[in-house]
Amino acid sequence: EAQVTQNPRYLITVTGKKLTVTCSQNMNHEYMSWYRQDPGLGLRQIYYSMNVEVTDKGDVPEGYKVSRKEKRNFPLILESPSPNQTSLYFCASSLSGALAGGRNEQFFGPGTRLTVL
Partner 1 sequence: AQSVTQLDSHVSVSEGTPVLLRCNYSSSYSPSLFWYVQHPNKGLQLLLKYTSAATLVKGINGFEAEFKKSETSFHLTKPSAHMSDAAEYFCVVSDQGKPRYGNKLVFGAGTILRVKS
Minimum Å distance from CB 100 to partner 1? Answer: 6
Decide: is 33 part of the binding site for partner 1 (CB under 8 A): yes
3-state secondary structure string across 11-37? EEECCCCCEEEEEEECCCCCEEEEEEE
Quote the least distance from Cβ 22 to partner 1, whole Å: 16
Cis peptide before 83 (omega within 30 of 0): no
Contact predicate 4/108, CB 8 Å: yes
CA 23 to chain centroid: 7
Measured from the CB atom, the residue of 31 and 116 that comes closer to partner 1 is: 31
By CB under 8 A, name the one of 11, 19, 27, 43 that touches partner 1.
Answer: 43
Closest approach, Cβ 12 to partner 1, in A, equals 17
Kind and range of the H or E run holding 109:
none
DSSP string, 85-97: G-EEEEEEEES-S
Query: Using the rule CB under 8 A, which residue among 50, 52, 65, 77 binds partner 1?
Result: 50
Residue 12 interacts with partner 1 (CB under 8 A): yes or no? no
Interface residues with partner 1 (CB under 8 A) are 31, 33, 35, 40-45, 48, 50, 58, 90, 94, 96-106, 108-111
